[in-house]
Amino acid sequence: MNDLVTAITTGITAFTATNIDDIVILTLFFSQISATFRSRHIFAGQYLGFAALIVASLPGFLGGLIIPQDWIRLLGFMPIIIGMSSLLKREEDSSEEAEEETEPSCPSIVSSFLSPQTCNVAAIAFANGSDNISVYVPLFANSELDSLLVILSVFFTLVGVWCYTACKLTSLPAIANFLTENGKTFVPCILIGLGVFIVTENVTWTLLSVISSYTFSLILGFNTQPLSEEQEKLIV
């Protein structure tokens, strides 16, 4: 009984300490729900990315390592690419997104796991959790099989709790209003900053990348707005 309580406590502590920052990222994801990006993509992607982290950490239980952490850190370029792409495409109309919607109203679990949206979330979850491996490897290595199974059960349960909590946070008026008004610019900037931090693990470079990308988005928006007004005058 004591071993069970210890394993559960260890699982909760380890997960919370290594995934507290995921709440912010997940909240940003849920604020971007649209016709082509659904809650199921976030849940499936987060579980898929976290499962990949567990697989990469399990060799610690077996006494070896498979994926060098430096290789995993290179996945930080994924949120950078996604963030830059979102900044450049943020002016697209929502009607165009609706036209691009090709998924069935009740897609299968397999199709959700194989969708590009799910893979993007999974890649970011895996890259953002690359440092988790350094914690999970020794944790698994020092665990008995029974304790390991309990810890993994706690981990995967808390992934769902994390997603649910982030989803509910977006319904709070203050958070919802901020993300609604600034989400299309703020979210890509945070993704770029996240990617820079994963690659460099340098807070200064991360802050500079967020500020630079936000400034770039303001300049881009300033340059595109006059063009649209001129076009309207020409049409008239």
What CA–CA distance (Å, rounded) separates 186 from 205? 17
Q: Is the pLDDT of residue 206 over 70?
A: yes
Is residue 216's pLDDT more than 80? no
Predicted pLDDT at 156: 95
Percent share of the chain, pLDDT over 70: 66
Q: In this predicted model, what pLDDT tens digit does every residue of 22-46 receive, in sequence order?
A: 888 888 888 888 888 888 899 999 9
Confidence of residue 164 (pLDDT cuts 50, 70, 90): very high
Higher pLDDT, residue 156 or 170: 156
Q: In the predicted model, what is the mean pLDDT of residues 185-208?
A: 73
Q: What is the pLDDT of residue 184?
A: 67
Q: Which residue has the higher pLDDT, 204 or 68?
A: 204
pLDDT of amino acid 81: 80
Residue 3's pLDDT is 78
Mean pLDDT of all residues in 5-15: 87
pLDDT digits (tens, 9 = 90+) for 94-131: 444 444 444 444 455 555 556 888 988 998 888 887 77
User: Contact at 8 Å (CB) between 158 and 60?
Assistant: no
Q: Is 193 exposed, middle or buried (0-12, 13-18, 19+ CB in 10 A)?
A: buried
Lowest mean pLDDT among 24-33, 58-67, 114-123, 140-149: 58-67
* Cα→Cα distances 114→2, 29, 156, Å: 41, 18, 20
Task: Return mean pLDDT, the chain.
Answer: 75
Three-class secondary structure of residue 47 per DSSP: helix
Residue whose entry in the numeric block shows the structure tokens 């950078």: 80
pTM beyond 0.75: the answer is no
Tokens coding 166: 């982030």
d(C-alpha 137, C-alpha 62), whole Å: 10
CA atoms within 13 A on the CB side of 8: 6
Helix axes 173-200, 116-128, angle to 10 degrees: 60
